[in-house]
Amino acid sequence: MRTFKDGQTIFIEPWRAKPFPIVKDLIVDRSAFDRIIEAGGFIIVNTGASPDANAIPVPKQNADEAFDAAASIGCGACVAVCKSASAMLFVGVKITQLAKLP
C-alpha cells in the first residue's frame, strides 16, 4: 500500500485458491489449514510425566521467532498466491514455529 499514490484505485479480492472457499464478502474458510495441522501425526513415547509448561525457559529470541512464524501463517496469503495453491509454504512455516519451542 505504500507504493500507491493518492487517488489510485485499489482492488481487494478474496483469495482465489480452492482450499479457501469464499464464505461472504472478503471472508474465506481457512479450515484447510486446520486439517493440515490435525493430520500432523501422533506418536506415543514413554518420556515420563510432562513438565509444567511455565517451568521450561524459552530464550527470548526463540519466542520472538516462533511468534513471527505464527503471525506469518495467519492469513494464508502464501497459499493463495502460489500458482498451484500449494500448502507447503504454510507447512514449512508451521514446522519452523514449532521447532523454535520446547
Q: What is the pLDDT along the chain (102 residues), one digit of tens a residue?
A: 568 888 888 877 766 677 778 888 777 788 877 787 777 766 677 777 877 877 888 899 998 998 888 887 777 777 777 777 777 777 888 888 888 887
Q: What is the dihedral of CA 68, 66, 28, 41, to 10 degrees?
A: 160
Stated pTM of the model: 0.56
Judged by DSSP in three states, 82 sits in coil
Delimit the domains of the chain by residue range: 22-49+57-99
Q: What is the pLDDT of residues 31-54, one digit of tens each?
A: 877 787 777 766 677 777 877 877
- How far apart CA 50 and CA 96 sit, in angstroms, is 22
- Where does residue 71 rank: exposed (0-12), middle (13-18), buried (19+ CB within 10 A)? exposed
Name residues whose C-beta falls within 8 Å of residue 33's C-beta, 6 or more positions apart in sequence. 73, 76, 87, 90
The Cα-based distances of 77 to 19, 20, 98 in angstroms read: 12, 10, 20
